Amino acid sequence: MARPINLDGFENLFQCDPDPWDYETSAFEAHKRSVLLRHAGLSPRGRVLELACANGVTTQALMNVGLRVTALDGSLTAISQAQARLGKISRLRLLHANLPEGMPKERFDLIVVSEIVYYLGSIAARQLAKSVANRVAPGGRVVVLHHHLNFPDASVNPEHAHRDFVRLLRKRMTLVRSARTGRFCVAALVAGHRH
């Protein structure tokens, strides 16, 4: 049985391969990004936060959505690769931060939580959901996207992790859109509305 991957494992992955999941070249990854962006909504967002930005491929796409983009990752190598990809852009801030404790303190109009929750334990996932709900601006949007098929280095069942995270956010936000494909689930929620 494989062990769940930790921050050192992610660091090793990015040191060995700058694109370990083929974000840049995979048609599947491009499709997944387009679904994520559709769930982000059509109107431009002011401040965007991307959690677990990896090598910055999705960050690059989010630059077309947000006026100011903050992207963070727990791997210093991944942040360096994102910086090399994106260059110096005044409206972009890349941060090396561990979640949930490294969550930025300001509010954002769009927060992207993609392919991270199943790597966290249950307690850390609950803390992250609370932080995300506290950091999204009124009327802002949160997009949550995760694989739902099991894989060996996840800390928790991927489908359960996504479902539980969205359920926690729905206590303070309204689900406005969701979809499920053969491999991943996505949900968009808006702040300032409750059931």
Q: Which two structure tokens, joined as six digits, stand for 126?
A: 């609950």
Domain at 7-191, CATH homologous superfamily:
Vaccinia Virus protein VP39 (3.40.50.150)
Amino acid at 88: K
Whole-prediction pTM: 0.92
Average pLDDT over residues 55-59: 95
114-123 confidence digits (pLDDT tens)? 999 999 989 9
- pLDDT score for 195: 46
Cα separation of 54 and 80, whole Å?
A: 10
Reported confidence tier of residue 154, pLDDT bands at 50, 70, 90: confident
Question: What percent of the chain clears pLDDT 90, i.e. is strictly above it?
Answer: 74
Question: What percent of the chain clears pLDDT 70, i.e. is strictly above it?
Answer: 97
181: helix, coil or strand?
coil
Reported confidence tier of residue 5, pLDDT bands at 50, 70, 90: confident
Where do the structural domains in the chain lie, given as residue ranges? 7-191
Please check the confidence at residue 165 and state whether its pLDDT lies above 60.
yes
Strand partners, 142: 111, 189
DSSP 88-155: --TTEEEEE--TTTT--SS-EEEEEEES-GGGS-HHHHHHHHHHHHHHEEEEEEEEEEEE-S--TT-S
